[in-house]
Amino acid sequence: MSDKQRTIKKAVHFHGRGLHTGNDTTLTFKPAPENYGIRFVRVDLDGHPEIPATVEYVRQNTTIDSLRGTTIAVGEAEVHTVEHVLAAAVGLQIDNLRVEINANEPPIGDGSAMPFVHKLIEAGIEEQNEDREYVVVEEPVSYRDEKRGIEFAALPTDDYRVTVMIDYKNPALGSQHSGLFSMEREFVTEFAPARTFCFLHEVESLIDQGLIKGGDLDSAIVIVDRKLEKNELKELKRKLEIKEDIELGDSGILNNKTLRFKNEPCRHKLLDLLGDLALVGVPIKAQILAARPGHQSNIEFARMLHNIYKKQRLTKRYSDVTKKGIIFDINAIKKILPHRYPFLLVDGIIEFEPEKRIVGIKNVTGNEQFFEGHFPERPVMPGVLIVEAMAQTGGIMLLKDDEEVENKLVFFMGMDSVKFRKPVVPGDQLVMELTMLKARRSTFRMAGKAYVKGELVCEAEMMAAVVEK
């Protein structure tokens, strides 16, 4: 992979019908500046709202079930079924792209990513000056949905590889697997042409739900998994508003349509996964293994990778030195918190999930200023300072990669259920774990626990507000 960001050279257009909505849509790919990312722009709506293609903007429980496609939205502006467009951009390693669209769903084309790939290649691809940012998987990451038999794993590697297995426990399809190991050599020829597919019984259900209004037998592979009588075939033809005859055939594919690849359904699942994982927001360096993936699980895994990226970005932003077991050392903490001696009470951050969970440490020494007056004959760390140390740790948890901490302050508004279990004395290492309970705009509620040698010494719930300096 090139380490420079890329965009396209000129604008290109593509017209067609949306798969589920049936809306006539014109989609325009346009060049975008560095660090713009991929954004969909609803040019048919007032103000031309832009929707960044990242997991924060994924909307589930929409009119189009998230099992059938991925929807992103800002306010009332939605774009459904974005995964094929995103897969085309990822496959061609395009980082910055403005996707203008005059309806709420891209054209389905032939059900693959190939129409978009052709258009992007026609537009030409050019390298930009800014370096790429990546999410780098440094240790195994896993996700599992036991109920649906779905499993994901991301393993460390220096490039981007994806392996997919599907098993519908249906004799009409069976088990399949496929793997992409080189985006440059394999994507355009081996995966972009793979078309979407569904089972015959699903077609009937989707029609009844008011979906696939733009679908036809040229935009999907329909796998025959049940017999239909002649009158049922006629009714299906009427509902799909198609002129050609429909026959079950004997190949297992409606109308005996020829597959482009023996394992085309599995390749399309891999294509969908590439598109959904594009919502991480940056290129990925990992080996992705996926068993029975679907859009919902793809998005959940993309969220996990996106959180890793946010953590890596913040760590890189504030830490000059990488130390084993330390995410933020004292020098990084001084860049984040305004506190200074003798009131800086966090020495290091050892675990960090932005806006979710954090673990900090405070090494309590006999040189602490407060020991001079707080039971000098039997020095004990004041309980209010233990709570303050937890609060400072919690303040670091509120870091956002799109905000400048220099312009922000964290004020604590209240504390509940404060309990002190054991004294903290010189020589102890205070380990403070904070978890987010509730986040609402600029106010937050978090639960904190402090431990010494694995034993709970203090706990509290705290409310905080982030304010401008």
Pairing of strands 455-468, 408-420: antiparallel
Torsions phi, psi for 442 (to 5 deg): -105, 10
As a 3-state breakdown, the chain gives helix, strand, coil percent values, each rounded to 5, of 25, 35, 40
Written as six digits, the tokens of 374 are: 């707080």
pLDDT at 40: 98
CATH number 3.30.230.20 is the correct assignment for the domain at 4-193+265-309:
yes
pLDDT at 189: 98
Helices first, then strands: H and E counts in the chain: 9, 23
Which CATH number applies to 319-468? 3.10.129.10
Mean pLDDT of the chain: 89
pLDDT at 258: 85
How large is the average pLDDT for residues 126-141? 95
Is the pLDDT confidence value at 145 over 80? Answer: yes
Amino acid at 221: I
Q: What are residue 97's DSSP bridge partners?
A: 31, 38
Distance CA 274, CA 265 (A): 14
pLDDT in tens, 25-46: 999 999 999 999 999 999 999 9
What residue ranges in 44-124 does DSSP mark as E strands? 50-52, 72-74, 77-79, 97-101
pLDDT in tens, 378-410: 999 999 999 999 999 999 998 876 667 777 889
Residues of the chain with CATH 3.10.129.10: 319-468
Residues of the chain with CATH 3.30.230.20: 4-193+265-309
**Burial state string for 79-104 with b = 16 or more CB within 10 A and e = fewer than 16:** bbbbbbbbbbbbbbbbbbbbbbbbbb
Residues with catalytic roles: 295, 374
Is the pLDDT confidence value at 67 over 70? Answer: no
Residues of the chain above pLDDT 70, percent: 88
Cis peptide before 342 (omega within 30 of 0): yes
C-alpha to C-alpha distances, 229 to 84, 104, 173, 181, 364, nearest whole angstrom:
34, 36, 22, 44, 79
pLDDT band at 62 (very low <50, low <70, confident <90, very high): low
pLDDT in tens, 298-356: 999 999 999 999 888 888 888 765 666 788 999 999 999 999 999 999 999 999 988 89
Judge contact between 279 and 70, C-beta under 8 A. yes
pLDDT band at 293 (very low <50, low <70, confident <90, very high): very high
Is the pLDDT confidence value at 95 over 80? Answer: yes
Among the ranges given (80-89, 163-172, 245-254), the one the predictor scored with the smallest mean pLDDT: 245-254
More confident residue, 64 or 260: 260
More confident residue, 108 or 215: 108
C-alpha to C-alpha distances, 57 to 280, 282, 371, nearest whole angstrom:
11, 15, 50
Amino acid at 384: V
Expressed in angstroms, the distance from the first to the final Cα of the chain is 42
Judge contact between 380 and 430, C-beta under 8 A. no
The residue with tokens 């903490």 is 333
pLDDT in tens, 210-257: 665 555 666 778 887 777 677 767 766 666 666 666 776 666 777 678
Written as six digits, the tokens of 190 are: 């081996």
Written as six digits, the tokens of 234 are: 């006629």
Residues of the chain above pLDDT 90, percent: 69
Is the pLDDT confidence value at 1 over 70? Answer: no
